[in-house]
Amino acid sequence: MQSHSHPGTTSSALTRLSVEVIRMTGADPNGYAHLPGLAPEHLHGNTYRTPAATTGRLADLTTVHVPWTDMAVLLVGQSHIGALGVWDYLITAAPTPLEGIQDAAAYFATVVDTATECLHIAEDGDHVTISHRSQADVTHEAACAIRAYALGILRQRLSQAAGRALVPLRVSLAARAPRRHDILSELYSTRVIHFEAPDSSITFRAADLKIPGPHTQPGLSTVLRRHADQILATAIPLHDWLSLFRTHLAAAHDEAAPTLAAVARRMALSTRTLQRRLDEHDTTWSGELENLRQTQITRLLETTDLSIDSIATRSGYANARALRRAVQRWYGTTPAALRSNSRRTFMTW
């Protein structure tokens, strides 16, 4: 799981939640709709991982329109079970709330950028303290909102896992004290809130977290952990503009022979702007298209029995002869030899 944590990205589920909340503030969509990862196919496709810079920018813009305390409450209010994907169910379907939050900490990467955020769980006699540490590159106001939201969603999910409202013994926030914190007292169901703490944390009675939950099913947690592993293993991280371009190019290639104009339309850009952006990233349309074709052709040769003619057609080459020239240029050999060598290597393994 650690090898698929995808640093620098967050889940599309978290991004959808962030977009929903910023819309609720009445912010002008023109101020954020252009951000990487917010194209409909990426925002609503659970396979994709949004650049962490995008979710950070959304948080920054939201706190321009509402106080950070209100932003935290809005986020929790929109976080129905399932809004954060499998992570929610890891908590609510575990044998006990404590086991659920332990799984959630281990699979925090299914939601956030674990290069900047983590959960730590400490048992101390009759108490269990869950700490949330965040070093996201955002403004101070946005950082306060993120930390307050994290503790709010933890209390909400643990209460849902327990089948009753859990009241924490104390809450500590790595945030400045607001003028009034009634809204936070309501969010956490306690007035025992300490501000300007080194780390944000929420503490419960251990007994409250060790009672079997009402949604427990034998073996379900194992299935959910496997599902979380699969989600992380198959995720497509969108680290930057070039990553986004390549996902659009691959999608266009899957549908038909891609053209510069077709991909530009997908990205809501003019062809001139698209060419300029490619140049800024030290690449070209023809070079990107050939790299995509090389990857696809190599995979088809190594994993299928399709004829060379069929592969040429699928890959956008005029005929098998053109494909053979391309493979010779890439690898200095023929498609048949490349296929044979790859299978011989597989047999050796």
Strands 170-172 and 200-205: antiparallel
Rounding to the nearest 10 degrees, give the CA dihedral for residues 6, 86, 118, 13.
70
Contacts of 146 (CB under 8 A, 6+ apart): 59, 72, 134, 136, 138
Calculate the alpha carbon distances from 57 to 27, 38, 43, 112, 345 in Å. Answer: 13, 12, 15, 15, 47
DSSP string, 21-52: HHHHTT--GGGTTTSTT-SHHHHT-TTEEEEH
Look up the pTM and report it.
Answer: 0.74
Give the chain's domains with CATH numbers: 2-234 (no CATH), 236-348 (1.10.10.60)
**Which of 303, 324, 304 is closest to 312 using CA atoms?**
324
Query: φ and ψ at 114, to 5 degrees?
Result: -75, 0
Question: Which amino acid is it at 150?
Answer: A
Both tokens of 145, joined, read 């909102």
Tens place of pLDDT per residue across the chain (349 aa) = 445 789 999 999 999 999 999 999 999 998 888 788 898 888 998 999 999 989 999 999 999 999 999 999 999 999 999 999 999 999 999 999 999 999 999 999 999 999 999 999 999 999 999 999 999 888 899 999 999 999 999 999 999 999 999 999 999 999 989 988 899 999 999 999 999 999 999 999 999 999 998 888 889 999 999 999 999 999 989 877 888 888 888 878 877 778 999 898 887 788 999 999 899 889 999 999 999 999 889 888 988 889 999 998 888 888 999 999 999 999 999 999 988 876 655 444 4
